[in-house]
Amino acid sequence: MDKKVLLIDTMHPLFSELLIKEGFLIVDGTQFSKEEVLSVLDQFQGVALRSRILFDQACINAAKNLKFIARAGAGMESIDVDCAEKNNVCCINSPEGNRDALAEHAMGMILSLLNRLHIADKQVRNGNWIREGNRGYELGGKTIGILGYGNMGQAFAKRLKGFDVQVLAYDKYKTNYTDEFAVEASMERVFSETDILSLHLPLSDETNYLIDNEFFNAFHKPIYLINTARGKIVDTSAVVQNLKSGKVLGAALDVLEFEKYSFENLLSNQEKIPISLSYLLKSEQVILSPHIAGWTHESNEKIARVLVDKILKFYQSVKN
- Catalytically annotated residues: 230, 259, 291
Element (H, E) at 118: helix 117-125
Residues 6+ apart with CB under 8 A from 132: none
Kindly tell me the sign of the dihedral angle through the C-alpha atoms of 41, 42, 44, 46. Answer: positive
User: What is the rounded CA–CA span in Å between residue 286 and residue 128?
Assistant: 20
Please report, in angstroms and rounded to a whole number, the separation of the first and last CA atoms in the chain. Answer: 12
Phi, psi of 199 (to 5 degrees): -95, 130
CA atoms within 13 A on the CB side of 294: 25
- 3-state helix, strand, coil split of the chain in percent (to 5) is 40, 15, 40
The H or E element spanning position 144 is: strand 143-147
Torsion of CA 173, 174, 180, 182, to 10 degrees: 30
